[in-house]
Amino acid sequence: MTPLSSRIYIRLILFGSLLLASHNVIALEKIPAEIAETEPGHSHSFGIHRRTAGVTLNGPLEDHWITQQRQNNHSKANAAHRKGDYDRAFNIWFPLAADGDPPSQFAIAIYFHRGHGRAPDIGEALTWYYRSAVGGYPRAMFNLGIAYWEGWGVGKDHKLAVSWWRMGADKGGTSSQYNLGIAYLSGEGVNQNAVKGVYWLTKAASGGSNKALAVLQFLFKRYRNAKQPRLLTT
């Protein structure tokens, strides 16, 4: 091990130790369970995101999921959704969802969950979330994690919630990365591991999560202000 890698490793362990000592500050937020059209706004408290991701309203869904043939239909559905014409949007998305398109399956799940143009049906929503998640869609994985964390239509199961967030995190979902990082720091649903917590929060922050960045800044400030032992160099 080189001196540089040794110093980095020791700093990381020290940072992780401080995080574990600070886990009482990073408590789970007491946010009412509700659906949001977009990811939740920033908060001064740090904890698990408990609001689900919603239908994308600005532009098409993720490009790599959409062939050119489907692009126009997605654009039309999004336009109808923005105008509040939920029946038209649903009727455009549903055939795509039935044909196995994960973003459309996610949109249909949101419609059943939120009750856009129909009575809410959490069971039907979970069915479509699951189909979308199995198809590899990270936002559906995040929402399934929320469902199991909160017990929406299923028994509460924090371990299963974390497993869905881990899958979403591996797919690049920043909300899943954030929740997975917080779970590792708090030790809820997974064995407490500060280094993994920092890793996933850093991934989320790198992906644009301001909330993950705020947590890291807060903890690094505590680390920087703490009395630090002399670091080994070899």
pLDDT digits (tens, 9 = 90+) for 185-234: 999 999 999 889 999 999 999 999 999 999 888 888 776 766 555 444 44
Does residue 211 fall inside a structural domain?
yes
145 within some domain? yes
Residue 206 maps to which CATH number?
A: 1.25.40.10
pTM: 0.74
DSSP state, 45?
Answer: S
Q: Is residue 178 in a domain?
A: yes
Cα gap 111→124, rounded to integer Å: 10
Query: Per the domain annotation, does 233 fall within a domain?
Result: no
Cβ(155)–Cβ(149) below 8 Å: no
Q: What is the pLDDT of residue 56?
A: 47
Q: What is the pLDDT of residues 78-91, one digit of tens each?
A: 999 999 999 999 99
Among 62, 44, 45, which residue's Cα sits nearest to residue 53? Answer: 62
Q: Say if 131 falls within a structural domain.
A: yes
Domain that holds residue 220: 3-225
- The gap from C-alpha 193 to its chain's centroid, in whole angstroms, comes to 19
Strand partners, 52: 35
Q: How many domains does the chain have?
A: 1
Residue type, 66: I
